[in-house]
A and B are shown apart, each in its own frame.
Chain A
Amino acid sequence: NAGVTQTPKFQVLKTGQSMTLQCAQDMNHNSMYWYRQDPGMGLRLIYYSASEGTTDKGEVPNGYNVSRLNKREFSLRLESAAPSQTSVYFCASSGGQGAGEKQYFGPGTRLTVL
């Protein structure tokens, strides 16, 4: 099993450009998440999907949209990138929404917005 995979690994955008970050998991998990990690900080939740067909905002959703394409895939879209969105983006998945459900993380996408 590959676990959680993310593409691309690196991306440089100009202010105002758009892009979609892709995430897929092969663990048959119901829940998926998008986090951002800024230098010297912990991860902050952007959006999550408790189950296929549902999405909800996390702590920092402004400037982002998500799509739960199917059970395996959860994408994050930046419609008009801003320098403040320069960050490392992590996707994660878990079996469900219970408090004890472990979240498994992908390797991250390093995004720079000029």
Chain B
Amino acid sequence: GESVGLHLPTLSVQEGDNSIINCAYSNSASDYFIWYKQESGKGPQFIIDIRSNMDKRQGQRVTVLLNKTVKHLSLQIAATQPGDSAVYFCAENPWILTGGGNKLTFGTGTQLKVEL
């Protein structure tokens, strides 16, 4: 079946460096993608989203890139800080396939560890 997955389960970066978290998706019909951050013991927190008609979207210190040709999504965090340490999930909404509706399919997550 269709699924969303992440290439790396754990990513360690030095404080101040840039982080890149990757996500592969297999559902070419998905038209909406989201990145969530989950800190230990808390619920997922929205970071940034992107629609399939865009290649790039920037937020505060974060950028999401979408490559529909190879079905790849990435989250770039600039100047990574200790507070960025968390698990990051990508999620997709295969809106057309699910008959509409806001049903998300989540990837398995990447643990980002920021080293001082």
Binding site for B on A (CB under 8 A): 4, 31, 40-45, 48, 50, 56, 58-59, 90, 92, 94, 96-108
Query: In the docked arrangement, what's the CA distance between A105 and B34, Å?
Result: 14
A90 and B43 within 8 A (CB):
yes
Shortest beta-carbon contacts, A-B, top 10: A42-B106, A105-B43, A99-B95, A99-B32, A43-B106, A97-B102, A105-B44, A97-B101, A42-B108, A101-B102
A58 smallest CB distance to B (angstroms): 7
Q: Which of B24-41 contact A (CB under 8 A)?
A: 31-32, 34, 36, 41
Is residue B85 contacting chain A, with contact meaning CB distance below 8 A? no
What is the CB-to-nearest-CB distance from A42 to chain B, in angstroms, rounded to a whole number? 3
Whether a CB of chain A sits under 8 angstroms from the CB of B51 is yes
Chain B window 95-116, contacts with chain A (Cβ cutoff 8 Å), 1 for yes, 0 for no: 1000011111111110000000
Are A4 and B108 in contact (CB-based, < 8 A)?
no
Q: Which residue, of B4, B89, B93, B102, has the highest number of chain A Cβ atoms within 10 A?
A: B102
